Amino acid sequence: MLHKKRAFIILALIAALLAYFWLGSRYPSIDEKAAMAVDFVLEDVLSFEAAFEIDPEDPAWKRVGLSTLNWVSTNRQGMTFGVLLASLVLTLLQAWPLRRTPGRTLPDILKGVLIGTPLGVCVNCAAPIAYGMRKEGVRSGTTLATMFASPTLNIVVVTMMFSLLPLYMAGTRVVVTFLFLLLVLPVLLRFFDKDTQEVDRPLPDCAPRAESETWAQAVIGTARDFARNLWFIVVRTVPRMLLAGFLGTALAMMLPMESLTTWQISLMGMAAVALLGTFAPVPLA
């Protein structure tokens, strides 16, 4: 059942959160990095700024631990935004159930691109948002497209690529992204996703009936549902985020970036670098 008052409250909260993140954090931060890009140097192996100084003479366990804390410090705003937005989306989809229809893979993907591109979140933050969408039944095409498009197609990152990199490299990056979203992803969904075989069905309605609900009851109910969903998202995503930061930092310690300059250019070498890049939990830009 549609709970209009709760949906209105949640949409207002989502709008406020997006405005705060876009205008007060994400895009100003990316603009700053774009302006400094030529001279920008990481202060730690996976961190823009080092909140904890690391002595090269420290034992390996201490260096990895402190670098992981630096990674958490660098990514804390984005990860907090991702967790909060995922919880709000989860709550919205419980108050405003959607219906899923089979056989609409390409429109679903395009919808995800339109949602993800302006979000402007990095890969670390897109995962909990996608998890929250998927938990409440948003179709896989929309969920995956949102997760892929947000860190790769937002306007600031695309502008940075064309400003800093050779035209062929930036163009290849954009073309390959669209080829994956529009050609590869539909094929994968067709063969591996059960959504394509499902019939119309409403999502479960978890909230009380809405006919007689007052605004005060709507606020209390929304707060209760949001708190439950926030805990759900935190428990299932934050430990994995921290584990990813720890493992990525340990890998970067064992294989410093400067060592890549000595590698021979080959198919195997590029595949190895791609695997390292996939494993490292760092923002794309």
Q: What is the pLDDT of residue 26?
A: 65
Q: What is the pLDDT of residue 207?
A: 43
Two tokens, residue 99? 């219906």
Residue 28 or 213, more confident:
213
Q: What is the pTM of this model?
A: 0.75
Residue 95 or 1, more confident:
95
- The whole-angstrom separation of Cα 173 and Cα 161 is 9
Q: What is the pLDDT of residue 273?
A: 83
Q: Do 91 and 222 form a contact (C-beta atoms < 8 A)?
A: yes
Residue 222 or 128, more confident:
222
- The whole-angstrom separation of Cα 147 and Cα 141 is 10
Q: What is the pLDDT of residue 225?
A: 92
- Average pLDDT over the chain, rounded to whole? 80
Amino acid at 50: A
Using one digit for the tens of pLDDT, what is the confidence trace for 132-155? Answer: 888 777 888 888 998 888 888 887
Using one digit for the tens of pLDDT, what is the confidence trace for 164-217? Answer: 889 999 999 999 999 999 999 999 888 887 655 444 444 444 444 555 788 898
Residue 82 or 34, more confident:
82
DSSP state of 44: B
Q: What is the pLDDT of residue 56?
A: 81
- The whole-angstrom separation of Cα 151 and Cα 174 is 12
Q: What is the pLDDT of residue 92?
A: 87
What is the pLDDT averaged over residues 81-103? 78
Q: What is the pLDDT of residue 205?
A: 45
Is 227's pLDDT higher than 90? yes
Residue in the structure block whose two tokens are 């609409």: 104
pLDDT cut 70: percent of the chain above it: 83
Q: What pLDDT band is residue 104 in, cutting at 50, 70 and 90?
A: confident
- The whole-angstrom separation of Cα 151 and Cα 28 is 15
What is the pLDDT averaged over residues 260-265? 81
What is the pLDDT averaged over residues 259-269? 83
What is the pLDDT averaged over residues 87-97? 85
Helix (H, G, I), strand (E, B) or coil at 96: coil
pLDDT cut 90: percent of the chain above it: 16
Residue 13 or 281, more confident:
13
Which residues does 215 contact at the CB level (< 8 Å), separation at least 6?
A: 5
Q: Do 148 and 181 form a contact (C-beta atoms < 8 A)?
A: yes
Lowest mean pLDDT among 43-47, 199-203, 212-216, 226-230: 199-203
Q: What pLDDT band is residue 33 in, cutting at 50, 70 and 90?
A: low
HEC profile for 174-228? Answer: HHHHHHHHHHHHHHHHHHHCHHHHCCCEECCCCCCCCCCCCHHHHHHHHHHHHHH
Cross-strand pairs, 47: 44
Is 223's pLDDT higher than 90? yes
